[in-house]
Structure 1
Amino acid sequence: MVTKLDNLFRWRPDAEEFSKPLQFKKPFKLLFDRLPIGVDNNRIDVTLSQEFMDRCRLFVRRSMLHDVTENYWGEPPPPPDNKDLQALREGYAGLMELTVDRARKYNRLEMVQLLQFSVVKFLLQLVGQEYDRLRNQVQRAKSVDSHQSTGRSVQLHDRLVLLARNEAAIRYRITRRLFREMLKIENMRLSKLRKSVLGQSWPVPKPLLFNPMLQLPSLWADEQVMSHYPLVCTDREDQDGFDRVNRLVTGLFAEFLPSWCWSVDPADPFDATCSDIQTTARRHQGEQGGLPGYTESLMLLKRSLQPTEYENGNCSWLDIPENIDRIVYSVKHRSAIRTDYDAPRLRVTWENAKWPGFHHRLMKRILKAFQGSRVELDLLACHAAPGVYHELNRQVPVRIICQYLSGRMTKRDLQRKLNSLQGKAVPAQVIKVLDRMLLIIRRMPAPRRRRRIFSFLRHFALFRRDLKQAYQAHVAMHRIHLLVRPEDIELSRRNGSLLEFPLRVELKPEQHRIRNHVIIKADVRGSTVMTNELRNRNLNPASHFSLNFFEPINKLLESYGAKKVFIEGDAVILSIFEYEDTPYQWLCVSHACGLARKILQVVDNQNVKNRQNDLPELELGLGIAFSDEAPTFLYDEGREIMISPAINRADQLSSCSAAVKRSEYGKRLGRGVVVLAPAPREIINKESTDKLIRYNVNGIELDFPAYYKLKSELSFRRIELDSGKRSNNDHLLVARYPDLEGHMHVLVIREAAVTVWDGEKAGRQAADGRCYYQVISDPEMIAYAIEQSNQRRRPLPDISGTTAEEKTTEPRLFH
C-alpha cells in the first residue's frame, strides 16, 4: 500500500504520463447495424456461394479422414490433393474480390466484415459437422456389423473410442489448417486488395479474425491451449484461476488503468459452475449460431471483467501485450530485480528523470505480489509442464503434470491418477521424471524466476486480450444466420433481407428487388344469388365463373405486369410490383388503373350474357391502394403468402355501404363511386380507418397514396366539367400511358369532394375539404374528356403542386 510519505518523497507518474509512451489500439467497430434484419427478426440472413461451401466441405472431409487414419487407425488414404487446397483458396479469394468490388461501388464496408465473420462461422461449424459425420459413419458400420457378424465390430468399437478420446485434437488440427490457409491468401492478396480499393487492409482486425482462441475446440483443451497460452488460467477444476490472476495484475497497475479496466467487485459473485457452462455449450453446439467457445469465454469474462470493458470493446494499453515489455525493459535492471535475460533497453522513454527510480520500485512490487501468492508456483509449473508432457510421450495429461509440479496434487493422489490411466505410462517412471522437474523448479535461480514472472505478465495480457476479442467475434457470429435450405433462402430473398455472397461464375441476372407495389381488389357482389340460380337450372357455377370471369381476368394480367395474390371467396386480389432495376416500368398505379377498367369491362360483358339468359347481374367494387415499400412474403408448405397494409386498404375502397345503397339517394346513383363523411351522430363501420362511408357499384376508387404516385407517373390535363355533368365540385384529369406491350391507353380520373351523409342524402362538403379519386370507366365520359382535351389544345396545367388541404394528407414522396 502506498503511504503518504511515499507520495511526498517518491515520485510516481500520473495515469496520462505513465501511458503516454505506450501503444494503444482503436476499439473495433462492428457495422452490422447498417444491415437488414432477417426473417427471424433477430439475425442477419446470409448465404455463401454453394460452390465455395462444397469445396470447403470436400477439403475438410478428405483432410479429416487422412488425419484420423494416419494418427489413430493406420493405413491412411492419400492426403487431399493440392488442387483441393487451391480450390479452397481461390474460392475464398473470389468471394472477397467480388465483395470488395461491391463495397466500393455502394460504400458498404460492413459487407466485407459480414463476409469475413460468415466464412469463419461456416468453417467452425463445418469442422464440427464433418467430425459428427465421420463418427456417425463408423457407428452405422458397427451397427451393420453387429447384425452381419463380419468380425469387424471390435475394430470399429476401438475406432469410436479413439475418435471420442481425441476429438479435441482432431478438430483443432483441421481448424488450424483452414485458418492458416485463409491467412496465407489474406496476406498475399486480399489485404493488399482491400487497401488499394477501400483504403483499409483489415476491416476486421487481423488479431481478432485469426484469434487462436477461436480455433481452440475448448478453453479446457489443455493440449491445444498450451500451444498458445499459459495453462494457469484455464484449469477446469480451478474456476477462479483467471479471476485470481486478473485481480492481481490489474491491482498492480490500477492507478494507471481506467476504472472500467479494474476487476469486478468480489461481493458480486458469479454462481455458474464450470460444468453448467459445459453442459450449456454442448446443448447449444448443434443449434444454428451456437458455438461452444462463446459460452466458455463469457464465463471467464463475466467472473472477472466489468461488462463495460468486454461488451463495449473498450481498449487500454494492457490490450497491447508488447507494452508489458516496454515497461519491464525500459530501464536496465538493478541487481535486486535482474533477470537472466540480457535484453537491450527498448527504445521507449519516459521523459521524467525520476522514471528509473519509480520503475525499480514498480518491478519490486510486481515480483513481491507474485512471490507472495500461489500464482508464481502455478506459472512456473505450467511453464515446465509442456516439456515434461512431451518427454513422457503424451501419455500423462498435461493438467496432472501442472497440478503436481505446482503442489496442488500430492504424490498419493498422483499415484492414484496414474493407475487409472489406460495408457502405457509406468507410474514409477512418470513420478521419477516429475520429481526431477520439481527439483529443478525449486532450485531455479532467482533471475530466471523473475524472467518467468515478467514473461508471464506479457502472456497473460495476450490471453486477456484474445479472450475479449473472442467474445467480440462470437457476438458478431451469433448475429449471422447462415441459410442453407433452399426454402429458407427463397423466403429471405423474397422479403428483401437476404445478403448473398456468390462467386462470379455463379452470378445470375440481377434479382428483381421490389421498391413499391400496388394492390387491386375486385369485390364481386351478387355471386351468391347467381350461384343459386345456376344450380336451380342444373348449371355448373364453378365453370360458369371460371369461363366468364376468372379466365378472362387471367389473360389480362401479363399486359399489365400483374400477379394474382389470392382469391378470397368471391373477391380477387391482384398486385403490381415496381422493381429497382426496371425504372422504365415504374408505372404501377397507371397499370393498375388500366387493369381495373379492363376487369370492369369483363363484368359488363358478362352482364350482357346474364341479361340475355335472364340471370342476375354481377356487381363489382374495385379499390386500388399503393404502398411505397416492398411487401412481406411468408411461405406455407410452399405456398407464397403476401402481407401488405395495402390489402386491407384496397378492401375498404372496394366496399359498398348497404345503408347508402338501399336509401333513395343510393338508388339514384347508378354505377360509380361516391365517398361520404358521416354526420357527427352517425356510427360508421369500425373497420374503416379513414372514417368514411363508401358507395361503390361497378366503380374504381384510388386511395391518396395511389393518386399522388399516379401524378408522379403521368402528365395530366385538367378538364372542367360542364354544369350538366358536374356534381360535388368534381373535375376530370386526363392522361395517356403505355401498357407493357407498348399499346397506349387513355386514363381519366375524377377528383371530387367528400360530402356529408346525414342518413338519407348527401349534403354539404365535408369540413376538412377531403377529396376522393375515381377511375372513370364510362365510355361516354371518357369520350367527353378526350374531346374536351383535344378542343382546347392548351398546355397542361401544373398539377404537381399541392394545396393547403392536400398537404395535410399527402404521403411521403415516392421518387
Structure 2
Amino acid sequence: MPRIPIFRLGRSAEEVLPPQLSSYTPKLTLEGLQLGVDNLRHDVHLSPRFVEQARLQIARLIVRHGDMEGLLAAEKTERAGGNHFIGSTPLAKAPAKASGSELKPLLADLHVSVLNRAKAAENLSLDMLARAAIVKFLRVELNSQFAQMLERGRMMLKSYEGVRQQKALEYRERVAGFQVAKKIILRKTGQELFRILREIEKETLARMRRSLFGNRSEAEYKLFLNPLIFTEDGCDTYLNAEHYVMLGNFDRDPDRFSNVRRIARDFLLSLKLGSTAEDEAVVDGWLNVPENAQELVGSGQPDEATHEGRSQKARLEAWVEMLEREKLMDYVIASYETVPLLAEYSPRINAQQLKNALISREERDRVEKLIQEHGKLSVQSLNSAAARVAGCRGAERAKMAARFLRDFLRYHRDLRRLEALNSALDSGNLIGNWKLRELSAMNGTLYEFLLPEEQKPTEDKVLRHVILKADIRDSSRLTRSLLEQGMNPASYFSLNFYDPVNKLLAKYGARKVFVEGDAIIVALLEHEGEAPLAVSRACVLAREIIDIVRGYNHLLERAGLPALELGTGISFQDSAPMYLLDGEQQIMISDALNESDRLSSCSKRVRKAIAAVDGPFNVYAFQTVKDADAGESPEDFILKYNLNGIRLSEAAFQRLQQEISLEPCPLELPKLWGSESFQLHRGLVPVGNEIFKKILVRSSRVAQIDPQKFSLQHWTERPYYEVCTNPAIYAMLEGKPAKGGF
C-alpha cells in the first residue's frame, strides 16, 4: 500500500491535509402502502392504453435497431399472397406505426395523473411505486417484444423452406444477425426509452413535484434518472464507454469492476481516515460520491500554491503509483482512447478487443487481420490510438488517473442506484391476470395507475371550497364619468372586465357564483380524489385577472377612457358550501362569501394616505384602536387597503402551504414606515401539463396607527397575507431589473 508523502518545505515538514469526504447510500423505500394478495408485494395495474402504446413503440424500435423492416415487409407481402392451395396460417400482427412523439405525451399524462393522486393522498410513495412499476413493465416488454420479433422471423423462415432458396438464405442470415445482436438492439431501444423518461422529468415532472412537495425525496427520484436502468446487470461495455469508463468484463481482466473497486478501497484505506474506514459500508458510501474524486486528487493538475492543492498532488501521486503497481494504468488510458474508435470499428470488432489491441502487440496483430479481412476499414486510426497510449507520460498520465477515479466513482454510484431500484422493483407486482386483479381490487389492495380519460367517474363529492371576489374600485364614479361622456357603462364593464374574466374560469376549474354590478364572485370546488390545489389555483387566477385588466387599462388610457382598478379577496373554507333553491336556481351559502367581500374591500381614507407611498405592495391593513380596546370584534377597527391587490385569508394561506411548497424569498424591498417586518414566500403552481405559474406571497402584520395623523403607533401581532401582483417584484424574482421602479 503506497505511503502518502510528506512535503519538505525548507526545514519544516508539511503534513498532507486529510480529505473531507462525503458519503451517500442510495435507497428507495415505499412506505404507507398496502401489500397485495400475496402479502409480499404491492399489486399494480397500469393504464391499458399506455401498455398497448408502449408495446407498439418498443416493437417498432426493436425492428428499426435490428434492421428488420425489410424482413417484416416481406412477411406482410407473403401473408397477403398466401397459398391458395393449402391455405395459410395467420401470423402475428405487425407493429403499427408508433412513434416516440405518441408515447411521450401518454407517459407524461400518466405520470402527472399519478403525481396529483400522490398529492391528494399526501404520500409520495404512491408516485414512486408507479414509477417503479412503469420501469419494470418497460424492462419486461423489452425482452418480450424482442422474443416475439425473433419468433416471427423464425416462422417466416419456415414458410420459405423448399422454395426460393436464395431468399431463404438471405432471410436466414438476417434473422441470425438479429439474434446475435440482441444485446446491442436492447441497449439502443432501452436508451431511447430512457431518453423519453428523462425528457418528461426535465420538462414537466421535476417542476411539478417541487411545486407540490418541495424538495422531498429528491435523492430517491435520482434512481429513476440512471442511464443503467434498462441494462440487465449494469454491465454494458458501450454504455459504460459513453457515460462512464469502459471496464473489463472477464475475470482475467485487471480492469474488471471488482478489482478496480478493491484498488480504490485500498487507496482510501491508505489515507489513514480513521477507524470508520475499516467499515465496508462507510467505504462504499464514499465510493458513491463522484465529488470525492475532486476532493482527493483534484482535476489531475492540483494547484501547488495552496496547502490543499499540495495535499491533492500527494494523493494523486499515490493513486497513480497504485494504478501502475497493479498494472492498470495502461488499461485506463486505453479505455479512453478506445471510445473514438467505436464509431469506426464497432460492432464488427468487439470493443474490449479494440481496447486490448491498444495495449498488446499480439492482440493488435489479430485485430489488424480482422480489419484487413473486412476490406473497407483502415488500421490507421487503430495505430494512431496505440501510439497515443504508448506515448502518454507524466502530467498527462496523472490527468488520466484523476479522470478515471472520478468516472469510476460515478459508475459505482449508479451501479448502487441500480441495485436499490431493482430491490424496489421486486416489491411491485404487475398484475396481468384479470382474476387476480379483481381479487386485489375487491380487497382494496390494488393500485391502479390510469390515464385521466380511463378513470372511472367517482361520486362528485365536494370536500372544500374557495371563494374569489374581484371588486371594481369606485364603480359609481366610473359610471358617472362614462355617462357624462355619453358612453355606455354596461358595455364598458362587460368588454373590459366581465368577458375577459369569464374566458379564464374554465382554465382553472372555477365557476361563477354570481355577478354584482361592480364585482364578480367565483368558486373553486375541491372534489374527492382530485389534487388539492384550489387555493393555489385561485391565487394564479386572481393574478391573471389583474394582469388582464392591467393590459386593458393601457388601451383605455390611450383612448382617453378611465382605467379600471380592482381589489381581490380569496377566502378558504374547509368544508363544502351549502345551497338553497330559488325556483330552479341554486344559491350558494358560505361564510367564505362574506369573508371574501371583506378581504377585497378598500377604505377611501386609507387610499388617500397610501397614495403618497411609492411602495411595491398593493395590500395593507391598519388598526385604529389599541388591542385591549378592540374587544372581541377587532375586524370592526381595521382599515383595509386593497388596490389592484389580492388579499388572502389566514385559513387560505395555511391551506396554500399544504397545497404547494412555499420557500422563503429574501428580496430586499422598501418597508412601510421603514420598520415593517414582512416575509416573502414563493411557490410554483401547476396549472396544466408543462404549465406552471409563479406566485409570491407576502405575510405581514397589521399596524396600529393614530387615526387622526395616520402615524404608526406599533406593529401588532395580527397577520395578514397578500399575493403580490406588482410586475416589478416578479421581474426581480427572475433576476431582471424592475422597470419603472415601484
Letter in 1 for 2:149: L
**Structure 1 residue 334: Cα displacement:** 6.9
2:396 to 427, 435, 448: 448
CA distance in 2, matches of 1:437, 1:12: 37
Matches within 5 A, 1:197-276: 197-200=212-215, 203=218, 205-216=220-231, 219-235=234-250, 238=253, 241-254=256-269, 255=271
Which deviates the most, 36-45 or 252-261? 252-261
Residues 220, 361 of structure 1: alpha-carbon distance in 2 compared, 3 angstrom cutoff: closer
Structure 1 counterpart of 2:158, from 131, 134, 143? 143
Q: Which residue of 1 aligns with 2:285?
A: 315
Match of residue 455 from structure 2: 507
Counterpart of 2:320, as a letter, is L
Question: 2:329 corresponds to which residue?
Answer: 376
- Of 388, 391, 399, which residue of structure 1 is paired with 2:352? 399
- Residue 61 of structure 1 pairs with residue 39 of structure 2: no
Residues 221/468 of structure 1: CA separation in 2 closer, same or farther (3 Å cut): closer
> Quick one: which amino acid aligns to residue 496 of structure 1?
G
With over 3 angstroms needed to count, the CA separation of the structure-2 counterparts of 1:252 and 1:48, relative to structure 1, is same
Unaligned segments of structure 2, at least 5 residues: 76-93, 460-527, 529-742
Q: Go from structure 1 to structure 2 and tell me whether the alpha carbon gap of 1:4 and 1:469 turns closer, same or farther (over 3 Å shift).
A: closer
Match of 1:91 in 2: 106
State the identity %.
20
How many angstroms does 1:34 deviate by?
A: 2.9
Aligned partner of 1:482 in structure 2 is 430
Residue of structure 2 equivalent to 1:701? none
| Contact 1:45–1:483 (CA under 8 A) maintained in structure 2 | yes
SS in 2 for 1:187: helix
Q: 2 CA distance for matches of 1:189 and 1:509?
A: 26
110, 113, 127: which is aligned to 1:112?
127
**CA distance in structure 2 between the aligned counterparts of 1:331 and 1:422, rounded to whole angstroms:** 35
CA distance in 2, matches of 1:140, 1:457: 49
Aligned partner (choices 496, 515, 520) of residue 444 of structure 2? 496
Q: Quick one: structure 1 residues 438 and 463, their matched pair in 2 at CA, closer, same or farther if it must change by over 3 Å?
A: same
Output one character per residue of 1:490-541: Cα deviation in whole Å (capped at 9) or x when no partner: 1222233221111121112559xxxxxxxxxxxxxxxxxxxxxxxxxxxxxx
**Gap change, CA 1:228 and 1:65, over 3 Å in 2:** same
Q: Secondary structure at the match of 1:184?
A: helix
> Is 1:425 aligned to residue 394 of structure 2?
no
For 2:391 and 2:340, the matched residues in 1 are separated by 18
Q: Does the 8 Å contact 1:109/1:203 carry over to 2?
A: no
* Residue 391 of structure 1, CA deviation: 3.6
Q: Aligned equivalents of 2:299 and 2:384: distance in 1?
A: 36
> Partners in 2 of 1:258 and 1:497 — Cα distance?
48
Correspondences of 1:288-299 after superposition (within 5 Å): none
Counterparts of 1:649-660 in structure 2 under 5 Å?
A: none
1:309 Cα shift? 6.4
- 2:39 corresponds to: 41
Query: Within 2, Cα distance between the matches of 1:69 and 1:496?
Result: 46
- SS in structure 2 at match of 1:146: coil
Between 237-246 and 171-180, the greater mean CA deviation after superposition: 237-246
Q: Distance in 1 between matches of 2:160 and 2:372?
A: 28
Normalising by structure 2, report the TM-score.
Answer: 0.52
Q: Helix, strand or coil: the match of 2:444? A: coil
CA apart distance, 1:147: 6.2
Find the aligned partners of 1:493 and 1:220 in 2 and give their Cα distance.
39
Instruction: State which structure, 1 or 2, has the greater radius of gyration over its C-alpha atoms.
Output: 1
Partner of 1:722: none
The 8 Å contact of residues 216 and 225 in structure 1, kept in 2 or not, is answered as no
Query: Compared with structure 1, are the counterparts of its residues 362 and 396 closer, same or farther at alpha carbon in structure 2 (3 Å cutoff)?
Result: same
Q: Which residue in 2 is equivalent to 1:178? A: 193
Whole-angstrom CA distance in 2 between matches of 1:125 and 1:98: 23
Higher RCO structure, 1 or 2 (CA under 8 Å, sep 6+):
2
Q: Aligned letter for 1:451?
A: K
- Looking at structure 1, the residues matched to 388 and 334 of structure 2 have their Cα atoms a distance apart, in angstroms, of 11
Q: 1:499 to 1:261 in 2, by over 3 A?
A: farther
> 1:406-427 CA distances to partner (integer Å, 9 max, x unpaired)?
33xx52x6656776x6995359
Please state how far the C-alpha of 1:118 moved relative to its aligned partner.
Answer: 0.9
Q: What TM-score, normalized by structure 1, do the two folds share?
A: 0.48
Pair 1:355-2:297 in alignment: no
Specify whether residues 126 and 138 from structure 1 end up closer, same or farther in structure 2 by C-alpha distance, changes over 3 A only.
same
Question: CA–CA distance in 1 between the matches of 2:240 and 2:107?
Answer: 27
Change (3 A) 1:80 1:495: closer
For 1:750-782, what per-residue CA distance to the aligned partner results, in whole angstroms no more than 9, with x for missing partners? xxxxxxxxxxxxxxxxxxxxxxxxxxxxxxxxx
Q: Deviations over 1:218-268 (max 9, x none)?
A: 6554234322222224446538722222122222222466867669xxxxx
Aligned residues: 438
Cα deviation, residue 92, structure 1: 1.9
Task: Give the alignment partner of residue 298 of structure 2, picking from 314, 322, 329.
Answer: 329
State whether residues 55 and 88 of structure 1, in contact with CA within 8 Å, keep that contact through their aligned partners in structure 2. yes
Alignment of 1:746-761 (within 5 A): none
- 1:458 shift after superposition: 0.7
Q: For 2:51 and 2:277, how far apart are their aligned partners in 1?
A: 41
* Cα shift at 1:107: 1.8
CA contact (8 A) 1:396 1:425 kept: no
RMSD of aligned Cα (Å): 3.9
User: Matched residues in 1 for 2:102 and 2:240: separation?
Assistant: 30
CA distance in 2, matches of 1:134, 1:319: 39
Residues 181 and 137 of structure 1: CA distance in aligned 2, closer, same or farther (over 3 Å): same
Task: Write the deviation string for residues 379-435 of structure 1: whole angstroms up to 9, x where unpaired.
Answer: 11111122234343643211112123233xx52x6656776x6995359964x7544
Report whether the alignment pairs 1:52 with 2:50. Answer: yes
1:489–1:498 contact (8 Å) kept in structure 2: yes
Q: Which residue identity does 1:494 align to in structure 2?
A: M
C-alpha distance in structure 1 between counterparts of 2:13 and 2:69, whole Å: 64
Q: Please give the alpha-carbon distance, in whole angstroms, between the structure 2 residues aligned to 1:257 and 1:137.
A: 59
Alpha-carbon shift at residue 35 of structure 1 (Å): 2.0
In structure 2, the residue matched to 1:472 is: 420
User: 2: distance between equivalents of 1:219 and 1:330?
Assistant: 26
Deviation at 1:325, TM superposition (A): 2.7
Which letter does structure 2 place at the counterpart of 1:60?
I
Q: Which amino acid aligns with 1:66?
A: R
**Residue deviations 1:73-130 (CA, integer Å, cap 9, x gap):** 69899x9999743432222222222222222222211101101111111111111111
Cα 1:191–1:416 change in 2 (3 A) is: closer
Measured against aligned partners, the alpha-carbon deviations of 1:686-718 in whole angstroms (never above 9, x if no partner) come to xxxxxxxxxxxxxxxxxxxxxxxxxxxxxxxxx
* Paired amino acid for 2:315: L
Which runs of structure 2 are paired with 1:3-82 in the superposition (5 Å)?
A: 9-14=13-18, 18-19=19-20, 27-69=25-67
1:206 positional shift: 4.7
Letter in 1 for 2:374: A
Give, as a single letter, the amino acid of the residue that structure 2 aligns with 1:453: A
AA aligned opposite 1:89: K
Q: 1:37 to 1:259 in 2, by over 3 A?
A: farther
Contact 1:139-1:160 within 8 A present in 2 as well: yes
Alignment map for 1:188-199 (pairs within 5 Å):
188-199=203-214
Say whether residues 1:365 and 2:365 are aligned partners: no
Specify the alignment match of 2:680 in structure 1.
none
Aligned to 2:599: none
The unaligned stretches of length 5 or more in structure 1 are 264-305, 336-344, 346-352, 512-580, 582-815
For residues 429 and 85 of structure 1, what CA distance do their matches in structure 2 show?
A: 37
CA distance in 1, matches of 2:418, 2:319: 28
Amino acid at match of 1:55: Q
Which amino acid letter does the alignment assign opposite residue 100 of structure 2?
L
Q: Distance in 2 between matches of 1:134 and 1:247?
A: 42
